[in-house]
Amino acid sequence: MYSFELRQPTSIGGAVRALADGGQILGGGQTLIPTLKMRLADPGVLVSLGRVDSLLGICTDDSGRLCIGGATTHAAVAEGGGAYPALARLAGRIGDPAVRNRGTIGGSLANNDPAACYPAAVLASDAVVATNARDIAADDFFTGLFETALDDGEIITEVKFPVPASAAYAKFLQRASRFALVGVFVARFASGVRVAVTGASESGVYRWSEAETALSAEFSPSAVDSLSVAPGGMIDDLHGSPEYRAQLVRVMTSRAVAAC
Amino acid sequence: MPKDDGIGAATTRREDPRFLTGKGRYTDDINVPGQAHAFFLRSQVAHGRIASLDTTAAAASDGVIRIFTGDDFAGVGGLPCGWQVTDRHGQPMQEPPHPVLAQGKVRHVGDPIAAVVAETLDQARDAAERIDVDIEELPTVTNMQSALEDGAVRVHDDLESNLCYDWGFIEDNREAVNAAIAGAHHVTTLELVNNRLVPNAMEPRAAIGDYNVATDEHTLYTTSQNPHVIRLLMGAFVLGIPEHKLRVVAPDVGGGFGSKIYHYAEEAFCTFAAKAINRAVKWTADRSEAFITDAHGRDHVTRIDLALDENGKFLAIRTDTLANMGAYLSTFAPSIPTYLHGTLMAGNYATPLIYVNVKAVFTNTVPVDAYRGAGRPEATFQLERVIDKAARELSISPIELRRRNFIGKDQFPYATPVAVEYDTGDYHATMDKLEEIADIAGFSGRRAESAANGKLRGLGISHYIEACGIAPSALVGALGARAGLYESATVRVNATGSVSVLTGSHSHGQGHETTFPQVVADLLGIDAEQVAIVHGDTATTPMGMGTYGSRSIAVGGTAIVKALEKVIAKAKKIAAHLMEASEADVTFADGAFTIAGTDRSVAWGDVCLAAYVPHNYPIEELEPGLEETAFYDPANFTFPAGAYACEVEVDPATGEVEICAFAAADDFGNIINPMIVDGQVHGGLAQGIGQALMEHAVYDEHGQLLSGNFMDYTMPRADDLPSFVIDHSCQTPCTHNPLGVKGCGEAGAIGSPPAVVNAVIDALQSGGHDVDHIDMPLTSCRVWTAINADTGS
Ligand SMILES: Cc1cc2nc3c(=O)[nH]c(=O)nc-3n(C[C@H](O)[C@H](O)[C@H](O)COP(=O)(O)OP(=O)(O)OC[C@H]3O[C@@H](n4cnc5c(N)ncnc54)[C@H](O)[C@@H]3O)c2cc1C
């Protein structure tokens, strides 16, 4: 690790000012700190969000959305996200206890790891990612592998989740890291069903529109059986071939529906 | 009445309060005043010529004391190999040099190019980034088959090829075995891979070299399973330091599984550099470094043929194996696929004819050496897999086919066709016990329940044997070992009757500090509390060979018994004198010396005191003091064996394998501490299941380790495993050591992989899938792919 200066502002304004000199946001450090330890980055200044009270915590807004502060840990969501049970369960199965006690929703979304869990929830729930500058719709937020619509130094302050009538996340574990080898989040709203898939595609989290159509027409586990998932563009690594991931996309979707 | 802290007692582990409260003292916990820190610049390419290496800018970095390169080690010996294998044609193996720091060429990712010694570790790292090194990349060989092809890139320019040796065992049996297979009623053939593993001890390796210029004495603190061996290898073969000027200390060691047996470059480097800069030099591996520098395990590619007659009797076994050596020969590497593998190919079975061929191959990968089980898991895996396949082909139950071929209880001692003699065993007994504890009879009911949930349930059996208690020195010497394999102990009785045992064995997690005192307590009739174990320091312990190969209780424990016998013999003389009796009339039991047939006795403590305060003492005939040393060289290996059953559920939609139950019925001979034995079996099973389902060191064609961290290398976790059902009540005591013990450290890792794979194949076949083998690790992707590649379903 290269040496760095740690700033610990207590307000969003303070964080924005601290970042103005080109520092990097530090959430729970579960992704960033290992990167620094391997000397793959040298940000010079880290601006921790852990002491900004307004970024911590969970509430429900006037339109019934579950709002989670950008620096809220996975463990806090697992415990306090009961108003959206599928989301709380997702948070409770991220990584291991150490990761959940430190890692944050803002860090997870900003990082947009192609195998991360939260991006699937955000996309399937049609959530809004609020930053210090603007509100970003889920469909606009994830722009590619480890890529998001965030500008440099833009802070995720809150994530607002509409709570669906029913929802479930089916995660097939990558056994080493316990990220998702494939994870599918199915959310059923009055207006229709949204299906988001993580872990599978080379371009990151995506909506599986054929499944959405099929499930909006008939919400049953077997509704996706006849859909074909093309292995093209699926991730090929030690843990799974593209064909295998394509299979898991269908199986996990069906299991998520069954669990709704 | 057995003592409540003697042999057979399940006393809690004495070392645990220390380890569980962070009070252990590991090598990295040691800080020598004035120490500097070493950082190794390692090759990021698998094969290349060092075109230029310029350390000028780096040397000017803050805090740098000195930068070392291969040139500094030009006059120093390379890392020695401790075993020379002779090939089929009577020729010695090809043995390339293994430099401490690269000499002109790098041969695997992680090969050290230079080492920076600086005031702080960060400064050393900063400076290493400023070393200007230009490596001309060369084509690599990582795959063993291609490494042996004509015209393949050579890992070592000076060698004729990448073939280290082509070994035949027993060569004279080759033709007879071929003929038996050619003429057999049935031959079952299996091609398989024994996957490469990374040992991943919890404590990464570390070393501190210290040098006293005033006395010209060196001290090396290191993470070692065998400090005396390191002292001998490094002192005599690498740095030319005589033993009396070199002390090697291995304090608490946090796991090794074999990987801390070997002499590594970093140990020699820190020792050498400490003298060169006249300051202590410390190095601790980080986890990523451990992945690319600790010797890996396994990595065999094998074809095995099993010939059977019409009654399912085994007629002959032939195996052909390619064994990966990696880029250099690690300390004991050549012996693993040969004498720890070929000699076990008979398993528990009375097969009259066996021939084993092994070609050891150099590749551009990390060196491979012994890893928990070492050779024996590779032998067991292929044998227990091919037997299972044969059982399916012949429609005989896997248990029945094994039973038909077991060496009978009345056939011991049993000389196998692969040069070892089993002293004792009862394989039907362990199989009977397994059938009971695994509830084999109830399996079909459980299978039906799984089927109702859409899962395929499978049952896998294996029956292993291993050779432990390593090893008779003369025998291994004849086979090429460049070391003896005895063990030593000094029993130092203190004046008030407490005892210190100085042993050449060295625990790296096995609990010697608990079990060894149980033996002493039992033999002396004193409390185990009264006994201290001293180990891990060449300055205090007699020359011993350390801990590996499940040898510590069988060989090290026997050395303690032999030393105790000498102590008791002398103490009897003292007691006889004190009681004015004839020595022949004195008996010793329960901590007291008694004149047989009388109630006159003298306590252990009084005799000890008399030995050190010899006022009333036979000083003319007997030296004062009560301290004895024994060296024990075993007469034979010990042969633990056991029957394992694994039950899995496979989800056919995802290929996911869940282990529902695992049962192990082991025969370890006599047992000193059943709780510690349970722990050893649990750990071994976890590692074996890890190998079968999860762990895999994968190299790409450029020699990059793809699974080089815990995000990609899957270690088994507690929630991946069922609650194990284990039993060690089947006991055929070893016939040639006084404790009747056989050793238990590796069994779990040896017996479990075939049980797991057999279970998965059984599950798939029960679902109508025509799959007869899947290579380990059986990841969900591999299992699903096998199901879907099978066109027969
Ligand atoms: C062993 C392990 C297992 C894991 N398993 C899973 C899993 O199963 N599922 C899963 O989803 N994730 C998993 N993760 C990732 C984990 O959820 C991380 O916590 C997450 O990716 C990053 O969150 P963080 O708060 O630690 O961010 P950090 O590491 O602190 O930061 C990551 C990036 O986000 C930026 N950042 C942080 N907070 C904000 C913010 N509020 N606004 C804008 N940018 C910000 C940082 O500058 C940095 O670039 C795992 C991680 C580990 C180490």
Residue ranges for chain A with pLDDT beneath 50:
none
Q: How far is the CA of A131 from the centre of ligand 1 (A)?
A: 17
d(CA A145, CA A150): 13
From A49, A69, A85, the end of a domain falls on A49
Across the interface, whether the CB atoms of B654 and A239 are under 8 A apart is answered no
Q: Can you give the three-state secondary structure of B216-227, one letter per residue? A: CEEEEEECCCCH
d(CA B652, CA B764): 8
CB B378, CB B321: distance < 8 Å:
yes
CB B481, CB B82: distance < 8 Å:
yes
Taking the CA of residue A239 and the nearest CA in chain B, the distance in Å comes to 7
Q: What is the pTM of this model?
A: 0.97
Task: Indicate which of A3, A175, A243 best probes the interface with B, i.e. most B CBs within 10 Å of its own CB.
Answer: A175
First to last CA, chain B: 62
Residue A42 within a domain: yes
Residue B20 clears pLDDT 80, i.e. is over it: yes
Residue A66 within a domain: no
Residue A70 within a domain: no
CA angle at A77 for the pair A76 and A83, rounded to the nearest 5°: 130
Q: How far is the CA of B766 from the centre of ligand 1 (A)?
A: 43
Query: pLDDT tens digits for B373-432?
Result: 999 999 999 999 999 999 999 999 999 999 999 999 999 999 999 999 999 999 999 999
Query: Which of the four pLDDT bands, split at 50, 70 and 90, describes residue B792?
Result: very low
Across the interface, whether the CB atoms of A172 and B653 are under 8 A apart is answered no
CB B500, CB B780: distance < 8 Å:
no
Query: Which of the four pLDDT bands, split at 50, 70 and 90, describes residue B3?
Result: confident
Write out chain A residues lying below 8 Å of B698, CB-based. Answer: 238
Instruction: Tell me the CATH number at A31.
Output: 3.30.43.10
Integer-rounded Cα radius of gyration of chain A: 18
The reply to whether ligand 1 has any atom less than 6 angstroms from the CB of A52 is: no
Q: Is A26 helix (H, G, I), strand (E, B) or coil?
A: strand
Mean pLDDT, residues B587-614 taken together? 96
Q: Is A252 helix (H, G, I), strand (E, B) or coil?
A: helix
Across the interface, whether the CB atoms of B714 and A247 are under 8 A apart is answered no
Write out chain B residues lying below 8 Å of A248, CB-based. Answer: 654
What is the residue with the minimal CA distance to atom 44 of ligand 1?
A110
Of B129, B707, B785, the CB nearest to A244: B785
Q: Can you give the three-state secondary structure of B159-190, one letter per residue? A: CCCCEEEEEEECHHHHHHHHHHHHCCCEEEEE
CB B649, CB B658: distance < 8 Å:
yes
H or E, element range at A110: helix A105-111
pLDDT score, position A72: 98
Across the interface, whether the CB atoms of A244 and B781 are under 8 A apart is answered yes
Contact residues, A window 199-238, toward B, CB-based 8 Å cutoff:
238
Q: Per DSSP, which regions of A50-199 are E strands? A: 58-60, 66-69, 128-131, 135-137, 142-144, 147-148, 156-161, 166-173, 180-189, 192-198
What is the residue with the minimal CA distance to atom 53 of ligand 1?
A30
Mean pLDDT, residues B595-612 taken together? 96
Query: Which of the four pLDDT bands, split at 50, 70 and 90, describes residue B2?
Result: low
The reply to whether ligand 1 has any atom less than 6 angstroms from the CB of A177 is: yes
Taking the CA of residue B201 and the nearest CA in chain A, the distance in Å comes to 16
Across the interface, whether the CB atoms of A176 and B713 are under 8 A apart is answered yes
- The structural domains of chain B, ordered by start, are 16-22+486-632 (3.30.365.10), 31-140+201-293 (3.90.1170.50), 141-145+152-194+298-407 (3.30.365.10), 423-464+638-793 (3.30.365.10)
Across the interface, whether the CB atoms of A3 and B122 are under 8 A apart is answered yes
The reply to whether ligand 1 has any atom less than 6 angstroms from the CB of A68 is: no
Query: Which of the four pLDDT bands, split at 50, 70 and 90, describes residue B223?
Result: very high
Of B125, B288, B779, the CB nearest to A239: B779
Residues in chain B: 793
Q: Which residues contact A221 (CB under 8 A, 6 or more apart)?
A: A254, A255, A257, A258
Instruction: Tell me the CATH number at A247.
Output: 3.30.390.50
pLDDT score, position A21: 82
The reply to whether ligand 1 has any atom less than 6 angstroms from the CB of A157 is: no
pLDDT score, position A151: 96
Query: pLDDT tens digits for A168-192?
Result: 999 999 999 999 999 999 999 999 9
At A152, list the tokens: 């440099």
Across the interface, whether the CB atoms of B707 and A3 are under 8 A apart is answered no
Measured in degrees and rounded to the nearest 5, phi and psi for residue B615 equal -75, -50
What is the residue with the minimal CA distance to atom 19 of ligand 1?
A103
> Lowest-pLDDT range, B135-149, B274-288, B473-487?
B473-487
State percent of chain B over pLDDT 70: 99
CB A251, CB B653: distance < 8 Å:
yes
Q: Is B104 helix (H, G, I), strand (E, B) or coil?
A: coil
Mean pLDDT, residues B120-131 taken together? 97
Residue A121 within a domain: no
User: Mean pLDDT, chain B, as a whole number?
Assistant: 97
Mean pLDDT, residues B263-291 taken together? 98
B439: left (phi over 0), alpha (psi -120 to 50) or beta: left
Q: Is B318 helix (H, G, I), strand (E, B) or coil?
A: strand
Mean pLDDT, residues B428-447 taken together? 98
Task: Indicate which of B129, B710, B717, B779 best probes the interface with A, i.e. most A CBs within 10 Å of its own CB.
Answer: B779
Across the interface, whether the CB atoms of B707 and A172 are under 8 A apart is answered no
Taking the CA of residue B740 and the nearest CA in chain A, the distance in Å comes to 41
pLDDT score, position A22: 86
Residue A197 within a domain: yes
Query: pLDDT tens digits for B512-564?
Result: 999 999 999 999 999 999 999 999 999 999 999 999 999 999 999 999 999 99
Mean pLDDT, residues B299-318 taken together? 98
At B105, list the tokens: 């060429």
d(CA B744, CA B676): 10
Q: Which residue has the tokens 């006059």?
A: B75
Taking the CA of residue A66 and the nearest CA in chain B, the distance in Å comes to 32
User: What residue of B is the nearest CA neighbor of A240?
Assistant: B781
Ligand 1: residue of A1, A99, A157 to mutate (most ligand atoms within 8 A of CB) is: A99
The reply to whether ligand 1 has any atom less than 6 angstroms from the CB of A92 is: no
Query: Which of the four pLDDT bands, split at 50, 70 and 90, describes residue B791?
Result: low
Q: Cis before residue A85, ω within 30 degrees of 0?
A: no
Across the interface, whether the CB atoms of A238 and B711 are under 8 A apart is answered no
In this structure, what DSSP letter does residue B718 have? G
The reply to whether ligand 1 has any atom less than 6 angstroms from the CB of A88 is: no
User: Mean pLDDT, chain A, as a whole number?
Assistant: 97
Domain count, chain A: 2
Which domain covers residue A193, as residue numbers? 166-259
CB B34, CB B280: distance < 8 Å:
yes
Residue A234 within a domain: yes
Residue A205 within a domain: yes
